[in-house]
Amino acid sequence: MVTTWPRDFPGLGTGANYLAKIIGEMSDGRLTVKVYGGNELVPPFEVFDAVQRGTAEMGHGGAYYWKGKMPVSPFFAGVPFGLTGSEMNGWFYHGGGLELYQEVYAPFGVIPFPVGNSGTQMGGWFNKEINNVEDLKGLKMRIPGFGGEVLKRLGGTPVNIPGAELFTALQNGTIDATEWVGPMNDLAFGLFRAAKYYYYPGWHEPGTTLEGTVNTEAMAALPPDLQSIVRVACKAANMDMFADFEARNGEALHTLINEHKVELRPFPDEVLAALKRASFEVFEEQAASDDMSAKVWTSLKAFIEQVKPSTRIGSQHFVNRR
């Protein structure tokens, strides 16, 4: 398994390790997986290609990293103003999302599975204040997927670089801002030493799904019981990583604020409103560009509308009053 993350990186890297571990345990050693971090076998952004070629039988990364190859792919990762982590799981497992996900990847000889979720991310680290929409113009920010397209529409310059390079790029001024994940991962990278302001919420990734990929021929070569083990292990690792982020983000945020004196800032309402308008413009334009994008966005949009009422009167209403 090749990954886009540094080896043993909290949450993301350890999530890949967990998947490899339980595949070995569940198969009683009949199927073993060796994990390679980013750049150990292939560069981080060549994980998909490595799995497609069969250089590696498995990969772990994020669907939006392959946007250049599959413009529809960001719908399966982080969707600005879209679904939360638990809602994304609902769409994948009981709303037709997984079937669409695998349909998109099938021509490439790759089978994708949800393997982890970061939950609602943070808005990112900035070396300048964001007080209005004008402050986004000319902003050089590391932000992948649809989030980058939205920023570009509002006058910013999106940059996509691997996580391991973020600190240096932010510190030396190559970029003005970066989103990464959330408190646990941001603390691990020490991003608080490179930027002053920590903004929320993560409008661009409200419930980001990480992906496990399997080479189609490698999967077909396994007997049926081992194929089932891979599928079920992916589902187990998906939930385990989500729980890990939910458990540790609070502790990490406390450390960032109280020990490192990070300045926490909310995005102004007018900025969020502009970002939301631009997001849905991007989605509709993407849907109009090809039949598969239209098919996926139709499914996802319908699911968003389906769950909004129950979320609003359930978890959202409760958490606002807890």
The predicted model scores a pTM of 0.96
Q: Identify the CATH assignment for 124-205+251-288 out of 3.40.605.10, 3.40.190.10, 3.40.30.10, 3.20.20.10.
A: 3.40.190.10
70-74 — which CB contacts under 8 Å span 24+ positions? 70/104, 70/105, 70/108, 71/286, 71/289, 71/290, 71/293, 72/104, 72/286, 72/290, 72/292, 72/293, 72/296, 73/104, 74/144, 74/145, 74/146
Q: How many whole angstroms separate alpha carbon 163 and alpha carbon 181?
A: 10
pLDDT digits (tens, 9 = 90+) for 33-74: 999 999 999 999 999 999 999 999 999 999 999 999 999 999
Residue 256: pLDDT band (50, 70, 90) is very high
List, in sequence order, the alpha helices (H) in the chain: 12-26, 47-53, 85-94, 97-105, 145-153, 166-171, 183-189, 216-220, 224-258, 269-289, 291-311, 317-321
Q: How many whole angstroms separate alpha carbon 37 and alpha carbon 17?
A: 10
Neighbours of 239 (CB within 10 A): 14
Bridge partners of 280?
Answer: none
pLDDT at 206: 97
* Same fold flag, 2-117+206-249 and 124-205+251-288: yes
Nearest 5°: the CA angle 43, 159, 182 is 80
Amino acid at 111: I
Q: What percent of the chain has pLDDT over 90?
A: 99
In three-state secondary structure terms, 200 is strand
pLDDT at 306: 98
As a whole number of Å, the end-to-end CA separation of the chain is 41
What mean pLDDT comes out for the span 98-118?
98
pLDDT at 173: 95
- What fold does the segment set 2-117+206-249 form as a domain? D-Maltodextrin-Binding Protein; domain 2 (3.40.190)
Q: How many whole angstroms separate alpha carbon 94 and alpha carbon 277?
A: 28
pLDDT digits (tens, 9 = 90+) for 177-190: 999 999 999 999 99
pLDDT at 238: 98
The pair of structure tokens assigned to 68 is 């250049």
- CA 60 vs CA 57, 194, 207: distances in Å: 11, 27, 17
Q: Which helix (H) or strand (E) holds 119?
A: none
Domain boundaries, the chain: 2-117+206-249, 124-205+251-288
pLDDT at 86: 97
Residue 96: pLDDT band (50, 70, 90) is very high
DSSP 8-state secondary structure symbol assigned to residue 143: -
Q: Which of 4, 219, 238, 35 is nearest to 111 (CA)?
A: 219
Report whether 97 contacts 235 (CB < 8 A): no
Residue 304: pLDDT band (50, 70, 90) is very high
What mean pLDDT comes out for the span 237-265?
97
pLDDT at 236: 98
Residue 120: pLDDT band (50, 70, 90) is very high
pLDDT digits (tens, 9 = 90+) for 129-179: 999 999 999 999 999 999 999 999 999 999 999 999 999 999 999 999 999
The count of C-alpha atoms lying within 13 angstroms of the C-alpha of 268, restricted to the half-sphere facing its C-beta, is 11
